Amino acid sequence: MNPLVRLALEEDIGSGDVTTQVCVPVSQKAFGRYLAREPLVVAGLDVLYEIYNCRGGVDDLALLRRDGDLCGPDEEIATVSGNARTLLECERVALNFLQHLSGVATLARSFADAVAGTNCRVLDTRKTMPGMRLLEKQAAAAGGVGNHRLGLFDAVLIKNNHIAAAGGVGAALERARSSNLPIEIEVRTWAELQEALDGGATHLLLDNLRPQEAALWIREIDGRAKVELSGGITLETVRAYAETGADFVSSGAITHSARAVNISFQLELE
């Protein structure tokens, strides 16, 4: 059980859904539909199982789409049947997860579509809501972008403050090799770029360059290392960055600025 699901339900239901308790008979059965209300890429469907199981389960839950599927307005995403009280008390939490995660997947698909036809792949970042990283990265992947490192533990990414603390680009690279993990290093100046290449760097991060500047740096690198571009890259600018010859572009907007999409829940009595 994802602890976030339990926390979200406890936060919303608290000591009990008083409205449902006073309005709905204990034994009442109901049927519900999750409907897309706008074009969207759906994500987070497996969370529905966890939500309902946490509240004692339902009679039936049918997922009619898979994460990554494109849904049009008024298309059914999932249906559920069971005790009406359970369906009502879980409604808001279920929609919060589905709307947010589908929003991430929808924005991710827009980024992926924007670079179609180039040799560049879009990556997400660690700029996620606290506690939501795994779910948001799953949603980003469902939308068609790549996952960057999951956290600080699964890859080495040497950034400017690490370089300062280590005593320079060369020193940071040399020390990082003992990790036996993938190593990427950020370079901010022409001198740092040359030092990184001379030090055998195989994956470079170029941050906060304009597309024209990035293209110049990438020509200098000339295939000697993989190149990732980052820093304020938006849906409007990602194509220009992808056309510089970069291998990757990363954007925090995919997770930190995704709009919750419009998904509704309609309940009917059985």
The catalytic site residues sit at 92, 127, 159, 186, 207
Q: Comparing C-alpha atoms, which of 259, 41, 39, 5 is closest to residue 134?
A: 5
| Helix H or strand E segment including 136 | helix 133-143
Tokens of 188: 């901010």
Distance CA 125, CA 146 (A): 9
Give the CA count within 13 Å in the CB-facing half-sphere of 90: 27
User: Which H helix or E strand runs over 104?
Assistant: helix 84-114
Strand-pairing partners, residue 71, are 40
Tell me the C-alpha distance between 165 and 156, whole Å. 15
